[in-house]
């Protein structure tokens, strides 16, 4: 009797993903340090009109700003608002009482990515130093399962990800920063390496996002992985430098890259109607004009996050306005649930997010 009840509970928990096409793949995109304000409202008028942060205010306003929020946000992020918001779900519009929060106390990148990928808020993960992460992450767990083995990879602009994902322990393909990418019989990256070394900045630990995407896209087209993390990082670098204009430009570029990825997935056999795409951020930023460049434990707004999801089995709910709070630590179990499995780790794992109204 107990076994029957457990089976029923499992079927009920997965029912939202079992009524449509089988979901075989999950792609995760993270946009480092992007505030919910820009995602849901478009450019901040106080920042886009401030020459100290936006030297050419006229150009940036012409490109991305409009007094009407619905117009402004679509100018800045056309894929999000013309495609994803209509066919998928967006979480984190705090003006509607819909919140996404990070749970970790530190509110910067390593703890944020640990939370997203392990489903666990670990107080000992408290710096951005290159330290091997002892927590099991969802990518390495999936890579240990039949059907996913050697079909999981990560491409990241920030060069600390091999430590966050503990590549030394699990051997995951993790291509980060300006590290050279080895070629094999099906994936020749010699030309790419030559190109990226021409752009490499020895003082930067973050590769140009366009190069990260180029490498990921080549890998996806030739190797056909089932689970991929693509992590873009230039916006956070722009914000720390106080360049709101470049922050907006790179956010618009990231939106274009995500749209290009989704277009490919939806036009390619094996991915079309079998793939869920999740997009999120690792932390928020200061809410005010004087604090937007920073984030951390004592900067209000740093815990504010957002989440976007599109794919089969995900009920479309434009600009989700249901009141409530979800947490970044729930994303790892959500990825596992979408793929019809659990997530077993060496630490507690937060429960999955319910992504369907059925």
Model's pTM, two decimal places?
A: 0.92
Residue 345, in any domain of the structure: no
Report the C-alpha gap between 185 and 240 in whole angstroms.
40
Where does the pLDDT of residue 264 fall: very low under 50, low under 70, confident under 90, or very high at 90 and above?
very high
What pLDDT, on the 0 to 100 scale, is given for residue 281?
A: 98
Residue 51 domain-assigned (yes or no)? yes
The verdict on residue 344 lying in a domain is no
Q: So what's the pLDDT on residue 201? A: 74
What is the CB neighbour count within 10 angstroms for residue 24? Answer: 19
In what side-by-side order are the strands of the sheet with 89-91? 89-91, 307-310, 275-280, 25-31, 227-232, 152-156, 174-176
Mean pLDDT, residues 4-29: 57
Instruction: Give residue 197's pLDDT.
Output: 77
Give the residue from 18, 1, 35 showing the smallest Cα distance to 293: 35
Q: What is the mean pLDDT of the chain?
A: 91
For residues 265-279, give the mean pLDDT.
Answer: 97
Reported as a pLDDT band with limits 50, 70 and 90, residue 178 is: confident
Mean pLDDT of 345-350: 97
pLDDT value of position 18: 42
Cα 112 to the center of its chain, rounded Å: 11
CATH number of the domain to which 24 belongs: 3.40.720.10
Q: What average pLDDT score do residues 243-266 get?
A: 98
Average the pLDDT over 4-12 and give the result.
37
Q: What is the pLDDT of residues 117-157, one digit of tens each?
A: 999 999 999 999 999 999 999 999 999 999 999 999 999 99
Please determine, for residue 15, whether its predicted confidence score (pLDDT) is greater than 50. no
Gap between the Cα atoms of 192 and 209, Å rounded = 14
Q: Which residues of 172-185 are buried (b: 16+ CB within 10 A; e: fewer)?
A: bbbbbbbeebeeee
Mean pLDDT (whole number) for 9-24: 50
Residues ≥6 apart with Cβ < 8 Å to 273 = 21, 266, 312
Q: For the segment 287-307, what is each residue's pLDDT rounded down to a tens digit?
A: 999 999 999 999 999 999 999
Residues of the domain holding 142? 2-338
Give me the percent of the chain exceeding a pLDDT of 90. 81
Mean pLDDT of 320-342: 91
pLDDT at position 316 is 83
pLDDT-wise least confident of 7-11, 296-300, 351-355? 7-11
Q: What are phi and psi of 190, to 5 degrees?
A: -60, -45
Residue 79 to residues 86, 212, 247, 269: CA-CA distances in angstroms?
A: 10, 19, 17, 22
Residue 246 counted as domain residue: yes
Tally of structural domains, the chain: 1
pLDDT on residue 319: 56
Does residue 298 lie in a domain region?
yes
Residue 133 resides in a domain? yes
- Whether residue 352 is contained in a domain is answered as no
Kindly indicate the confidence band of residue 3, based on its pLDDT and cuts at 50, 70 and 90. Answer: very low
- Examine residue 350 and state whether it is found in any structural domain, yes or no: no
H, E, C per residue of the chain: CHHHHHHHHHHHHHHHHHCCCCCCEEEEEEECCCCHHHHHHCCCHHHHCCCCCCCCHHHHHHHHCCCCHHHHHHHHCHHHHHHHHHHCEEECCHHHCEEEECCCCCCCHHHHHHHHHHCCCCCCCCCCCCCCCCCCCHHHHHHCCCCCCCCEEEEECECCHHHHCCHHHHCCCEEECCCCCCCECCECCHHHHHHHHHHCCCCCCECCHHHHHHHHHHHHHHHCCCEEEEEECHHHHHHHCCCHHHHHHHHHHHHHHHHHHHHHHCCCCCCCCCEEEEEECCCCCCCCCCCCCCCCCCCCCCCEECEEEECCCCCCECCCCCCEEEEHHHHHHHHHHHCCCCCCCCCCCCCCCCCCCC
Q: Report the distance separating Cα 34 and Cα 125, nearest Å.
A: 21
The whole-number pLDDT of residue 44 equals 98
């Amino acid at each position: 009797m107990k076994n029957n009840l457990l089976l029923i509970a499992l079927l009920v928990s997965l029912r939202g993903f079992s009524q449509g096409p089988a979901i075989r793949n999950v792609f995760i995109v993270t946009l480092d340090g992007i505030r919910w304000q820009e995602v849901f409202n478009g450019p901040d008028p106080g920042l886009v009109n401030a020459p100290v942060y936006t030297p050419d205010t006229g150009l940036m306003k012409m490109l991305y700003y409009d007094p009407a929020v619905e117009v402004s946000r679509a100018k800045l992020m056309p894929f999000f608002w013309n495609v994803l918001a209509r066919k998928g779900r967006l979480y984190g519009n705090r003006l509607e009482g819909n919140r996404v929060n990070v749970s970790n106390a530190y509110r910067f990148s390593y703890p944020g990515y640990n939370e997203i990928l392990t489903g666990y808020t670990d107080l000992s993960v408290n710096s951005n130093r290159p330290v091997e992460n002892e927590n099991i992450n969802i990518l390495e767990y999936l890579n240990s399962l039949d059907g996913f083995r050697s079909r999981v990879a990560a491409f990241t602009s920030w060069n600390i990800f091999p430590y966050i994902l503990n590549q030394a322990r699990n051997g995951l393909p993790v291509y980060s920063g300006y590290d050279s990418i080895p070629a094999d019989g099906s994936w020749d990256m010699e030309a790419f390496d030559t190109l990226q070394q021409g752009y490499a900045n020895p003082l930067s630990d973050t590769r140009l996002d366009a190069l990260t995407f180029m490498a990921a896209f080549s890998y996806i087209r030739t190797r056909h992985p089932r689970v991929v993390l693509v992590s873009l990082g230039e916006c956070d670098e722009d914000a720390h430098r106080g360049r709101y204009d470049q922050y907006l430009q790179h956010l618009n570029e990231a939106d274009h890259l995500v749209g290009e990825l989704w277009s490919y997935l939806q036009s390619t056999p094996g991915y079309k109607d079998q793939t869920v795409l999740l997009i999120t951020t690792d932390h928020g930023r200061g809410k005010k004009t004087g604090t937007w460049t920073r984030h951390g434990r004592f900067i209000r707004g740093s815990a504010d996050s957002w989440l976007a999801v599109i794919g089969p089995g995900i009920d479309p709910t434009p600009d989700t306005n249901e009141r409530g709070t979800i947490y970044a630590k729930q994303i790892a179990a959500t990825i596992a649930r979408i793929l019809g499995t659990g997530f077993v780790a060496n630490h507690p794992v937060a429960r999955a997010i319910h992504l369907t109204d059925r």
